[in-house]
Structure 1
Amino acid sequence: MTERKDSNIWPGLSYDDAIAARAWLKALGFEDGTLVQGDDGTAVHHSEMLWPEGGRVMVSTRGTETGSDFDTTPGSGQIYVVTADPDAVWQRARELGAQVVRDLADSDYGSRGFSIKDTEGNRWSFGTYAG
């Protein structure tokens, strides 16, 4: 695991299949971070996926003992990820067969990006706009 300290916002999402969600995020370019599982090895009580350009997202299994206080409704999450290379992430998303919400395009405010949905319906936007 990479040693670093992110002091920005860390969004959290809960999934019916958090292991599959972590694999999906890894295929998009996230890196494995902390992973705390239950004794059965399927429930994820706490985990972090690291974006190589900075930031992270927490992923847990919906309804776990520790995760239930932070459960999100399936498909209710909306995450924006800043990237210097949205074209590369777009290509990985297409290879995954991700459901496209908004095609890769340049915006009138100077960003280049796109939006997709993960396997449980959460919306992920990737773009160059960093504020």
Structure 2
Amino acid sequence: MNDDGHVGSSNELEAQLVVEIFVRDLERSLAFYRALGFELARRTSEFAALRWDAAYLFLDQRPGAEEPTDQPLCANVRVVVDDVDRIWERAQGLAARVVKEPRNQSYGLRDFTIADPDGFGVRFAQLL
């Protein structure tokens, strides 16, 4: 959905916790996140609100941001899904940097982490 408005839905405005990340190229980041399964809730020329179920992820375009490095991630956002291996298959087609391949964890999740085009970590997890 394309929306030139600057005000989100009441669900978006009332969301308890929203992660907002800075991206160098909004179009590239939108393509990445939508290919993973995020839904576009609204956007302007420099901002997009994405949804995964009832959770939001904001992308704020900052063309002057630094290029990502291969350094360890300083943060990631976790998305809990029903089938982590299906999302892993999607991620493989994106040529994203793999930070951690799918693995059953001692803390009760099967998860993996990839880096988005700007070096931000995205971790998908499934309850074991």
Report the TM-score when normalising by structure 2.
Answer: 0.77
2:54 & 2:32 partners in 1: Cα distance? 18
Q: Which residue is 1:41 aligned to? A: none
Q: Which residue is 1:50 aligned to? A: 51
Q: Which residue is 2:93 aligned to? A: 95
Q: Which residue is 2:60 aligned to? A: 60
Aligned to 1:126, the other structure's residue is in SS state: strand
Q: 1:8 to 1:83 in 2, by over 3 A?
A: farther
Number of paired residues?
113
- Identity rate, percent: 26
Determine which of 14, 22, 36 is the counterpart of 2:22.
Answer: 14
Q: Is the 8 A contact 1:74 1:122 kept in 2?
A: no
2:101 & 2:10 partners in 1: Cα distance? 32
1:54 & 1:85 partners in 2: Cα distance? 18
1:49 & 1:78 partners in 2: Cα distance? 16
Gaps of 5+ in 1: 38-43, 65-71
Q: Which residue is 1:108 aligned to? A: 106
Letter paired with 2:51: L
Letter paired with 2:86: A
Q: 1:83 to 1:54 in 2, by over 3 A?
A: farther
Report the TM-score when normalising by structure 1.
Answer: 0.75
Letter paired with 1:54: A
1:100 & 1:47 partners in 2: Cα distance? 24
Are positions 1:82 and 2:87 aligned together? no
Gaps of 5+ in 2: 2-8, 69-73
Q: CA RMSD in A?
A: 2.3
